[in-house]
Amino acid sequence: MNTTASTITAAPHIPVLIVGAGQAGLSLSVYLQQRGIGHLLLEKHTPMHAWRHQRWDNFCLVTPNWQCKLPGHEYAGDAPHGFMKKKEIIAWLDAFLLKVNPPVRTGVTVKLVQPRAEGGYLVQTSVGDYTADQVVVSSGGYHLPIVPRLAERLPRGILQIHSEQYRNAEQLPPGEVLVVGSGQSGAQIAEDLHLAGRRVHLAVGDAPRCARCYRGRDVVDWLADMGYYDMPVDKHPLREGVRDNTNHYVTGRDGGRDIDLRTFATQGMKLYGLLRELDDAGGTLKFDDTLASALDRADQTYNGINAAIDQHIAKLGLDADGALPPASVYEPVWQPQAVDASGVSPHTELDLAAQGISAVVWCIGFQPDFAWVQAPVFNGRGQPVHQRGVTGQPGLYFLGLPWLYTWGSGRFSGVARDAMYLAEQIEGARGGAGLGEWQRQGELVG
Ligand SMILES: Cc1cc2nc3c(=O)[nH]c(=O)nc-3n(C[C@H](O)[C@H](O)[C@H](O)COP(=O)(O)OP(=O)(O)OC[C@H]3O[C@@H](n4cnc5c(N)ncnc54)[C@H](O)[C@@H]3O)c2cc1C
């Protein structure tokens, strides 16, 4: 593959091009502005598109408000231990956007980023070419919605959507709903439908879960005290493998609470193992017999986190609620039915017509799409190889990815730290040069 491009003389030159104007791109803009480094954000849609257009109506943060710490824009409301709802998140982000007032061009899709033989980068976009000394990819961590090919064989009458298209129960036709995937989105969408009175069938994956509150405080508060959110990826027991972990399911809804799939089952939700196949007739879905082990593992994680909090409390001799060791271990309130002699259980088969399934919501995640970054910086799975966002290709950076540096890198809590670090790297690579010639030419885009 040719990873260099020849000189494009007509293309405008920008010192630092930032691809994507979400919270990551805007955070970097703050620190580049402070350093007087000329830059331009290119945004396919409008700033904060994902928060405005890819979240369901009843969405609320899973992370507590006090963790919303963008540069110069910390949450300042009266509910630091609450969880902002979608409208509040957007209002808070709009206020950030106003403060940052970034140099941004909206409605511009970056189609190619490529190193040039003479140094710097060629950046091809939907509105023409640019060249840049340095490029930062802050295009988010959730690109191509994953939907299995099996979906093409489902009966035509069943509406199928991906989690990023889900808005509310009314959007779906009357009938029962299959939600596939029980990570943060799947578990919360299943709950949303369940609370709206819909009969939900949930294919349970390998996502772990954690308590919302334990020993009188939000678990996030305990983990913060325990230093978890400052742990860099290279100190995590899984090292970079942690980037592939599925998020724990828990919710901030109604002030925050656990999500317990076993309790949902006692209330009528139908649970299944991992989705495996559709039968030849195209009417019955088959699931692996993994439900019991998946629920058990999720509970083990839940209890394990609580036990770690107990240890922390004991070690420091803290005065915490429920201080009656051992940990208040979660005891399962419901157990799946075992498979019978023919290898079938209520959790391994779903007859779509008999159950009146009218819709499927795919909640099995996203694939990265960095095909437009034509530089030798990717691993075998298409993920960038980097140290704190700095790649081996001088002047090419990534920002905003999950566990880029810490747990909070892909969230509101850690992106500021990463953005500041990259701003320092960018400044260093420029030899401390600020706006310089570029500004004098009056090219700053407002
Ligand atoms: C369902 C869900 C729930 C979440 N809940 C929380 C939570 O409770 N707390 C928390 O802190 N975080 C949460 N997050 C994580 C994180 O805060 C969001 O994913 C956030 O949107 C990431 O910001 P970002 O700027 O890195 O990426 P994005 O917000 O995805 O922004 C990237 C931008 O790049 C643009 N773009 C992409 N490709 C191109 C291109 N080729 N050319 C030009 N522009 C391009 C996109 O249009 C987009 O606007 C959640 C994420 C999801 C998906």
Considering only CA atoms, which residue is closest to atom 17 of ligand 1?
Answer: 411
CA of 322 to the centre of ligand 1 (A): 38
The pLDDT score that the predictor gives to residue 328 is 62
CA of 102 to the centre of ligand 1 (A): 17
- Site residues for ligand 1, CB cut-off 6 Å: 19-25, 42-45, 49-51, 61-63, 109-110, 138-140, 142, 185, 372, 400, 410-413
CA of 401 to the centre of ligand 1 (A): 9
The pLDDT score that the predictor gives to residue 432 is 61
CA of 85 to the centre of ligand 1 (A): 16
Q: Which of 139, 144, 364, 405 should be mutated for ligand 1, with most atoms under 8 A from CB?
A: 139
**Distance separating alpha carbons of residues 364 and 181, to the nearest angstrom:** 5
**Distance separating alpha carbons of residues 175 and 183, to the nearest angstrom:** 23
The pLDDT score that the predictor gives to residue 322 is 63
Say which residue the tokens 């009218």 belong to. Answer: 358
CA of 415 to the centre of ligand 1 (A): 11
CA of 62 to the centre of ligand 1 (A): 15
CA of 148 to the centre of ligand 1 (A): 23
User: What's this model's pTM, rounded to 2 decimal places?
Assistant: 0.93
Instruction: Pull the structure tokens for residue 83.
Output: 């969880």
| Nearest atom, ligand 1, residue 24 CA | 25
Q: Which of 17, 142, 250 should be mutated for ligand 1, with most atoms under 8 A from CB?
A: 142
Q: Which of 28, 40, 44 should be mutated for ligand 1, with most atoms under 8 A from CB?
A: 44
Instruction: Pull the structure tokens for residue 364.
Output: 């099995």
**Distance separating alpha carbons of residues 148 and 150, to the nearest angstrom:** 5
Considering only CA atoms, which residue is closest to atom 9 of ligand 1?
Answer: 63
| Nearest atom, ligand 1, residue 400 CA | 26
| Nearest atom, ligand 1, residue 50 CA | 29
User: Which residues 6+ apart lie within 8 Å of 362 measured at CB?
Assistant: 145, 146, 147, 148, 151, 160, 161, 162, 163, 180, 181
**What are the beta bridge partners of residue 130?**
123
**Distance separating alpha carbons of residues 319 and 330, to the nearest angstrom:** 22
Considering only CA atoms, which residue is closest to atom 35 of ligand 1?
Answer: 20
Say which residue the tokens 């099996």 belong to. Answer: 150
The pLDDT score that the predictor gives to residue 445 is 36
> Residue 286's closest CA among 300, 294, 275?
275
Considering only CA atoms, which residue is closest to atom 13 of ligand 1?
Answer: 411
The pLDDT score that the predictor gives to residue 433 is 57
The pLDDT score that the predictor gives to residue 443 is 37
**Distance separating alpha carbons of residues 313 and 226, to the nearest angstrom:** 10
Mean pLDDT, consecutive 10-residue segments, the chain of 446 residues?
44 96 98 98 97 96 98 98 98 98 98 97 98 98 94 96 98 98 96 98 96 93 95 90 87 96 97 96 95 96 94 90 60 89 89 97 95 96 94 98 96 98 97 51 36
For the sheet containing 275-278, what is the strand order?
A: 275-278, 284-287, 349-351
